[in-house]
Amino acid sequence: MGKVHAVITGVGGYVPDYILNNEELSRMVDTSDEWIMTRVGIKERRILKEEGLGTSYMARKAAKQLIQKTGVDPDTIDALIVTTTTPDYKFPSTASIVLGKLGLKNAFAFDLEAACCGFLYTLSLAGSMIESGRCKKIIVIGADKMSSMVDYQDRQTCVLFGDGAAAVLVEGTEEEGVGLQDMYFRTDGKGLPFLHMKAGGSVCPPSHFTIDHRLHYLYQEGRSVFRYAVSNMSDDVVEVMKRNGLTADDVDWVVPHEANLRIIEAVTKRADIPMEKVAVNIEHYGNTSAATIPLALWDYESKLKKGDNVIFTAFGAGFVHGASYCKWAYDGASVETKH
Ligand code: ACO
């Protein structure tokens, strides 16, 4: 038997119907469409409004669509991994809830948390599980209900985030020239002061004090995050290209974490990659954390061709960051159902 390569063989996605646009946000906090579009490039984001629904609801919808689109037999799925910072509950894992709802009979499930880098890290892990031969088919889902931890009284953060989920199927193939090729990941551990939620964890469990002081929301020093994100993501993209002998001309697509259009533009400019080769959908969804990269794959699937050189890159709380290189395994245009 030849070497097994891990390939993505399908993409499914889900975004909630409710659209929170800049006009509505401008009535909630002191901001404007002009400020948001100039500084961040987001026009609208989707919000899961219905009470009692969490991240698993969106993750399940995305996985269901993936199963329908690929026609994979659910009984052949070996593992389901959800990467999220907004799990339904502290425990059990969101993945176990999704697995139960999908009725997967022969799979195990767990969550992996790496903030906005979650999808990149999880895809790499799933790839290794496939390449080892221990698993044959894995569903990887990036899903976040960011609205559950965003303070809609804080104009510095509430304009940035949205809710969504997307899923990919990772399988093995012996075919040469396709699949996950390389990853360059780093965590520098300097990020805590700049991006975190102050209460709700084991250091500061929930109490009346934490509620009264609004400590259960995402806290961020935007300028520092911006600076670290641009320099780390650019260095990571350049490194992964160098390691694999890729010039800017060789790269067909960059699929970046969608946090801020200015970050994306700065990163790709440093790697000399024109914006026509960059998958961008931040205008419509905002930053959906672990879901941004698979949602971009969902939106751009029809444009991706077999053999395309695709570079992923992300940066998130921690600080976690990295880039990976994949040779796309199928012609997206031949996939019948898109959304
Ligand atoms: N509307 C209007 N004015 C605003 C808003 C708003 N929504 N938010 C902040 N301002 C004001 C500030 O109060 C400040 O006013 P001041 O000069 O009177 O004090 C002014 O705008 C400039 O504020 P800055 O913070 O310097 O603005 P900046 O250009 O840095 O943009 C932003 C802020 C968009 C948050 C930017 O720093 C950023 O994108 N950072 C990266 C954050 C990010 O993407 N985090 C996501 C998690 S990590 C990740 O996914 C990569």
Inside any domain, residue 103:
yes
Q: Note the pLDDT of residue 2.
A: 84
Inside any domain, residue 258:
yes
Contact yes or no for 12/66 (Cβ under 8 A): yes
Point out the domain boundary residue: 173, 206, 236.
173
> 315: Cβ below 6 Å to ligand 1?
yes
Clarify whether residues 189 and 67 are in a common domain: no
> 222: Cβ below 6 Å to ligand 1?
yes
Inside any domain, residue 225:
yes
| Residue whose CB lies within 8 A of the most ligand 1 atoms, among 34, 144, 226, for a mutation test | 226
Residue 244 lies in domain: 180-332
> 287: Cβ below 6 Å to ligand 1?
yes
Q: How far apart are CA 306 and CA 211, in angstroms?
A: 51
Q: In 3-state terms, what secondary structure has residue 12?
A: strand
CA atoms within 13 A on the CB side of 255: 26
> Six-digit token pair at 212?
């009264």
Clarify whether residues 197 and 88 are in a common domain: no
Q: How far apart are CA 115 and CA 233, in angstroms?
A: 15
Residues of the chain with pLDDT under 70: 1, 337-339
Q: How far apart are CA 74 and CA 311, in angstroms?
A: 29
> Six-digit token pair at 321?
């960051």
Sequence-ordered list of residues with C-beta below 8 angstroms from that of 33, at least 6 positions apart, any chain: 22, 23, 26, 43
Burial of 73 from C-beta contacts in 10 A (0-12 / 13-18 / 19+)? exposed
Point out the domain boundary residue: 133, 158, 173.
173
Does this model's pTM top 0.95? yes
Q: Note the pLDDT of residue 107.
A: 98
Clarify whether residues 193 and 50 are in a common domain: no
Please state the domain count of the chain: 2
Start-to-end C-alpha separation, the chain: 37
Clarify whether residues 267 and 202 are in a common domain: yes
Point out the domain boundary residue: 173, 198, 226.
173
Clarify whether residues 188 and 157 are in a common domain: no
What is the position in ligand 1's atom list of the atom closest to the CA of 287? 50
Q: How far apart are CA 254 and CA 244, in angstroms?
A: 15
Dihedral sign of CA atoms 149, 150, 151, 154 in order = positive
Inside any domain, residue 265:
yes
What is the position in ligand 1's atom list of the atom closest to the CA of 157? 35
Inside any domain, residue 339:
no
Q: Note the pLDDT of residue 163.
A: 99
Q: Note the pLDDT of residue 330.
A: 97
Q: What is the CATH number of the domain that holds 296?
A: 3.40.47.10
Clarify whether residues 103 and 142 are in a common domain: yes
